[in-house]
Amino acid sequence: MLKSHQNQKRRKSVSVLRTSKVAAATSLLVALAAGAAFAQALPAAQDNPSAVRNGLQSEAATILTLQKAIDLALDSNLDLAVARREIEATQGQVIQGQARPNPELAYSLEDQRAATRTQSVQINLPVEMGGKRAARITTAERGRDIAVEELNVRRVEIRAAVVAAFFETLAAQERAALAGASVDLAKRATDAVAKRVAAGKVSPVEETKARVAEAGVRVELAQAQSEQRSARARLASLLGANPPRFTLAAGSVDELPAVPSFDNVQQRLSASPTLRRAQLEVERRRSLVDVERSKRIPDVTFSLGVKRPNELQRDQLLFGVSVPLPLFDRNQGNLLEALKREDKSRDELQALSVRISTDVLQARERLESIRGEVDVLQRDVLPGARSAYDAATVGFENGKFNFLEVLDAQRTYFAAKSQYLKALAEAHRAAADIDRVLGESGANATQPANKE
C-alpha cells in the first residue's frame, strides 16, 4: 500500500516536471520568435522612425489629416455660422428696400349737426421721386455683397489658420517623439554607467551625473509634450463646436510650401477677398450718397376719395396733390455726411491696399528666408550633427567615450533637429499668412524637403 502511494507521487512529479519543461520550451520559442521579429523590424525602424511611431498607435486612434481638418473647420466653425447669419439678415434689407410706400386711408367728419354734416373718405398714395427706391435697393444689395465677401474672407482666414495650426501640431509631434528618443537613450546610458560603477570601472560621481542628465532630458520631454498638447488644443479650437478627439495628426511636415513669384502675388493681390470687401464698401457708400441725394427731391402724394354733404344729399369726387416745399430742410447735412464717409472709405481702401501689399511681401520674404535656413540645416547642420551623434553612441558602447560626451553630441543633434522642425512650421505659417491675405492659391504646391 505504501509502495503504491509512493509510485503515484513519483508519477505526478514526473508529469509536473514534463509540463514545466514544455512550458519553458514554449516560452523560449516565443522569446526567440519575438527577438527575430524585433531584429527584422529594427532596420526598418531606423530607416523610417515616423512609420514606427504611427505603427505604435492603436487601431482605434483617431487620425486627423489636413484635408479633413479643413473640411471640418469650413463645415462647422462658429465664425462662419455667424457670417452666414449676416447674409440671411442682409437679404431682409434687400426685400425691405424693394418695398413701396403704403397708401393711406383717411376719414374726416365736418360739423356735428346731422343736417349740415359732411363726411369724406379718401386714399392718399405717396409716389417716391428722384430714384429713391432704386438707390435704396442698390444700397441693400451692396450690403448683401459685403456680407457674402465677409464670409469668403472668414473662410480664407480660417483655412489659413487651420493649415498653420496643423503643421504646428505636426512639428510638435516630431519634437515630442524626438524628446522621447532622447529620454530612452539617456535611460540606457544611465543603466550602462550604473553597471560600470557596480563593476568598479568608473567613479560613482559618473552615475550621479548621468542621473542628473537623464532628469534634465525628462524635463525637456515634459515641455515637448506640453507644447504638443497646446498645439492640438489650438487646432481643435478651429474645427468647430464639437471638434474630434484626434490622437494623431497625419502628414509630412517636411513638405515645404513654394514661394510665389512677384507676378503671382500682384495677380492674386488684385483679387484679394480683403480688398474686394473694401471695394464693395466704397460702392455701398456711393449708393448711400445717392440715397441721401434723392431725398432732396420731395415726394408727391396723390389723394382720391368721396365727399358727401348731407345738405346736398349726393356724393362728390375728391382729388388732390400735395408736395412738400423744401425751403428749410433740403437734407444737406445727411448728404454732406454721406459724401465724407464715401471719401473716408476710399482712403481706407488705399491704406488697406498698401498695408496688405506690405504684409504679403514681408511674408514672402520670410518664407524665402526660411527656405534658405532649412536648406542650410539639411545640407550642413543635420548631417554633421547626426554623424557626430552616431559616432559618439558607438564609441560609448565600446567604452571609448564617456556618457557626457554622448549626451553633448545627442543634445547637439536634437537641438539642430528641433530647430529644423521649428523652421518648417514657420515656413508653413508664412505661407498661410500669404494665403490669408490673398486667398487660397490653386498653385500653392508644396515641395518635399530633403531628408538628412
Q: 343, 298, 345, 346: which is closest to 322 by C-alpha?
A: 298
> Is 127 contained in some domain?
yes
Strand order of the β-sheet with 300-309 is 104-110, 118-127, 300-309, 316-322
Cell numbers of 347, please?
482712403
Answer yes or no: is pLDDT of 236 > 90: no
> Is 337 contained in some domain?
yes
The 10s digit of each residue's pLDDT in 76-92 is 788 888 899 999 999 99
CA distance 136 to 140: 6
pLDDT given at position 243: 64
Cell numbers of 318, please?
375728391
Answer yes or no: is pLDDT of 185 > 80: no
pLDDT given at position 133: 92
Among 25-34, 175-184, 186-195, where is mean pLDDT lowest? Answer: 25-34
Answer yes or no: is pLDDT of 336 > 90: yes
CA distance 168 to 153: 22
Instruction: Judge whether 144 and 91 are in contact, CB under 8 Å.
Output: yes
> Is 354 contained in some domain?
yes
Strand partners, 319: 304
130's CB contacts (< 8 A; 6+ apart) are: 293, 294, 295, 296, 297
Biggest CA-to-CA distance, the chain: 150
> Is 28 contained in some domain?
no
> Is 22 contained in some domain?
no
Domain with 211, as residue range(s), is 68-448
Per-residue pLDDT band at 321 (split at 50, 70, 90): very high
pLDDT given at position 34: 31
pLDDT given at position 113: 85
Alpha carbon 352 to its chain centroid, in Å, reads: 23
Per-residue pLDDT band at 334 (split at 50, 70, 90): very high
Query: What total number of domains does the chain contain?
Result: 1
pLDDT given at position 220: 83
CA atoms within 13 A on the CB side of 271: 10
Q: Which of 155-164, 187-196, 305-314, 338-347 has the highest mean pLDDT?
A: 338-347
Backbone angles phi, psi at 319, to 5 degrees: -145, 135
> Which whole number is the average pLDDT over 33-50?
35
Backbone angles phi, psi at 103, to 5 degrees: -70, 165
> Which whole number is the average pLDDT over 200-223?
78
For the residues of 300-320, what is the DSSP string, one character each?
A: EEEEEEEEEETTTTS-EEEEE
Answer yes or no: is pLDDT of 57 > 50: no
> Is 63 contained in some domain?
no
Cell numbers 457670417 label which residue?
A: 83
Share of the chain above pLDDT 70, in %: 80
> Which whole number is the average pLDDT over 128-144?
92
CATH of residue 74's domain is 1.20.1600.10
pLDDT given at position 45: 36
Per-residue pLDDT band at 20 (split at 50, 70, 90): very low
Answer yes or no: is pLDDT of 144 > 90: yes
pLDDT given at position 446: 47
Q: 160, 178, 143: which is closest to 363 by C-alpha?
A: 160
CA distance 445 to 431: 11
| 140 class by beta-carbon count within 10 Å (0-12 exposed, 13-18 middle, 19+ buried) | buried
Among 47-56, 249-258, 363-372, where is mean pLDDT lowest? Answer: 47-56
Instruction: Judge whether 410 and 185 are in contact, CB under 8 Å.
Output: yes
The 10s digit of each residue's pLDDT in 364-401 is 888 888 888 888 888 888 888 888 877 877 776 676 76
pLDDT given at position 6: 45
pLDDT given at position 290: 93
pLDDT given at position 244: 63
> Is 18 contained in some domain?
no
Higher-scoring residue by pLDDT: 349, 186: 349
Among 114-123, 147-156, 236-245, 289-298, where is mean pLDDT lowest? Answer: 236-245
Average pLDDT of the chain, as a whole number: 78
Instruction: Judge whether 119 and 253 are in contact, CB under 8 Å.
Output: no
Answer yes or no: is pLDDT of 193 > 80: no
pLDDT given at position 38: 29
> Which whole number is the average pLDDT over 395-408?
71
pLDDT given at position 241: 58
pLDDT given at position 381: 86
Cell numbers of 73, please?
473647420
- Cβ-based neighbour number of residue 240 at 10 Å: 18
Among 286-300, 319-333, 376-390, where is mean pLDDT lowest? Answer: 376-390
Higher-scoring residue by pLDDT: 214, 321: 321
CA distance 52 to 448: 20
Cell numbers 454721406 label which residue?
A: 338
CA distance 65 to 252: 10
pLDDT given at position 403: 65
Higher-scoring residue by pLDDT: 283, 419: 283
Answer yes or no: is pLDDT of 441 > 70: no
| 323 class by beta-carbon count within 10 Å (0-12 exposed, 13-18 middle, 19+ buried) | exposed
CA distance 251 to 255: 9
For residues 173-209, one letter each, b for 16 or more C-beta atoms within 10 angstroms of the residue's C-beta and e for the rest, the string is bbbbbbbebbbebbeebbebbbebbeeeebeeebbeb
> Is 12 contained in some domain?
no
Share of the chain above pLDDT 90, in %: 25
